[in-house]
Structure 1
Amino acid sequence: MPHNIVGLDHTLVGVEDLEKARETYEKLGFTLTPRGSHIGWGTANYCIMFPDDYIELLGIVDPTKETNGLDKKLEERGPGMLGIALSTDAPEATVTSLDEAGLGPARLHDLKRKLELAEGDVIPEFKLIRYPYQGMPLGGLFICHHLTPELIRTPEWQLHANGAQYVQSVVVLVDDPDAYLAHYTALCGAINVTRTDQTMTVRIGKLNLIFVTESDMDLLFPGLFISADMPEFPHILSMSIAVSDRAKTKTYLEGAGIQVQDVPNGAVRVQPSDASGVVLEFVQAQK
């Protein structure tokens, strides 16, 4: 893949009450990491780790400090998906490549967070690449490189009672998928971009990033009710999680008192009210 991008790093879910969101996702059968806090900011997170990617639940724990705009995003859009981070294995080369391709100016930033372990805090470190493309709501597309992956990829954190293994797809509602075609072709390569009459799909490692219009949503989400106060486009609507055994996942969710819906594409769907504003689907992992 161009620009040293190797796949999805993580998805980002903004939540209004971080501890309540932790309880919500634990009830859904996920194992969460200990809490992490962003050094110098008023935000903190819990992460749901998989072998190659993860989900970040992000909330505000000290509103008197910098929130990097999370307070405004939650006020304007409510809880739900904020964006995705792609993964690079060579951040400096990625910055140069993005600039040369006209996708910049890209900027490389250092980020640290404190991870609150029982035996004492540790400090995971990252390199973030932000660039000015607005193909996601509120600038919600960036690139990440882990300097200390061993601190957050503890094996027991990657075992989930619901059988979750990785993020398989993310769906974004847009006015016109063609408006994003040129950018994602330049970012991910033409071979990884597929345009049909209804959707544009970008293949990024194991992830399918799917752009669809509201009028064509029934193809992907038959029977899903969309609220009249849904945020303006583009809007990240859903996330599909690949699981080891879809039937066992459904049984687990029902046993936890979660209302689920079987949908024609074979997924087990959880409504946004039970997943911190995310349309969450569980699908059978591909062999």
Structure 2
Amino acid sequence: MPESEDGHQRGKLPAELDHVIVLVHGDLDAAAAAYQSLGFQLTPRGHHSLGSSNNLAIFKNNYLELLGYEAGKKQQRPEQWHDPKGLSGIVWRCPDPARAQLNVEQAGVKAEQPLDFVRPVETGDGVFDAAFTVLHLPREGFDYGRTFFCHHKTPELVYRPEWQVHANGVENISEFVFCGDDPRGALDLFERMFGPGLLKEIPGGFGFDAAEARVVALDRQAASERYGADAPLPEAGKTQMIGLVFKTKSLAQAEAALNSSGVAFGTAGDGLRVGPARAFGVVIEFSE
């Protein structure tokens, strides 16, 4: 594989989902309670060195982040809170930030400079700093959320076995859903980053595989047919991140977790669906 002058390999980047972001602004406590009622175990509240705070639901190979701010912290990074509450971020696994930056810029995408930060993590053995490098991508041409690469310097402080057990039996995020009038255009940035031929046509839209997950973009009609009254459709001419599917080892276990919290749900094909009112604007589905 050819190398750049600084020794970093050039080549096709793999499209691998690292985590997803549900933006909750100042409502971290309410969001945590809502997702716990869906059967997710959440990590203790974490606080980034950049000012934001979060709770995570950790799975085998990816995770969900509830991202917000605590009292008095909103103005530390006000640019993070421009998007409304709801599903607002899709984040890519990144073993080598320098290689990722080289590759996306060769594809004509101007990335920001890599940013390092830490988040103290409470474990049974004490408190340690989980360290990350992120590579943010521009909002131009992708103004319906955030997307960036995330390099875990200390994955052992994130993917801890004791946090990967959930009452609903969830093992991984298996699908991330966009909706818009131009499904292919919604995913165009990713085809530029990860290489031509990434996108495959599906009924009502386009999609691609991203390691253990699949990313799809549906047109408004397809989203309405899939979600019915639960569809949080974007405004005409806009694109929006609207839904997640979680792979559970047992739908019966997921159903029991929802019933134990009194959460109303419906069916989604052979799976289960919870409407956006119970999940901070996100349609949640469970499948085996």
Aligned AA (2:204):
Q
Gaps of 5+ in 1: none
Aligned counterpart for 1:280 among listed residues 277, 280, 284:
284
1:209 Cα offset (Å): 1.1
Aligned counterpart for 2:138 among listed residues 132, 135, 139:
132
Post-superposition Cα deviations, 1:130-174, rounded to whole Å, max 9, x if no partner, equal 122545445511111100111121101001110001111111112
Aligned counterpart for 1:93 among listed residues 96, 99, 105:
99
Post-superposition Cα deviations, 1:174-224, rounded to whole Å, max 9, x if no partner, equal 221232454332323344311245201021112211111223323432343
Gaps of 5+ in 2: 1-10
Distance 1:160 1:252, change over 3 A: same
Aligned counterpart for 2:175 among listed residues 169, 177, 190:
169
Post-superposition Cα deviations, 1:209-263, rounded to whole Å, max 9, x if no partner, equal 1111223323432343547x86972211111111001232113212321101012
Does structure 1 retain, via aligned residues, the 8 Å contact 2:61–2:212?
no
Does structure 1 retain, via aligned residues, the 8 Å contact 2:15–2:209?
no
Distance 1:26 1:230, change over 3 A: farther
Does structure 1 retain, via aligned residues, the 8 Å contact 2:266–2:272?
yes
The 2-side partners of 1:153 and 1:88 are apart by 15
In the alignment, what sits opposite 1:20?
30
The 2-side partners of 1:83 and 1:231 are apart by 21
Aligned AA (1:236):
M
1:112 Cα offset (Å): 1.4
How much identity, in percent, do the aligned residues show?
A: 26
1:29 Cα offset (Å): 1.0
Relative to the length of structure 1, the TM-score reads 0.87
The 2-side partners of 1:193 and 1:256 are apart by 39
Relative to the length of structure 2, the TM-score reads 0.86
The 1-side partners of 2:134 and 2:12 are apart by 14
Does structure 1 retain, via aligned residues, the 8 Å contact 2:179–2:242?
yes
1:3 Cα offset (Å): 4.3
Paired residues in the alignment total 276
The 2-side partners of 1:180 and 1:225 are apart by 18
- Across the aligned residues of Structure 1 and Structure 2, the Cα RMSD in angstroms comes to 2.4
Matched, 1:36 2:41: no
In the alignment, what sits opposite 1:81?
87
Does structure 2 retain, via aligned residues, the 8 Å contact 1:82–1:137?
no
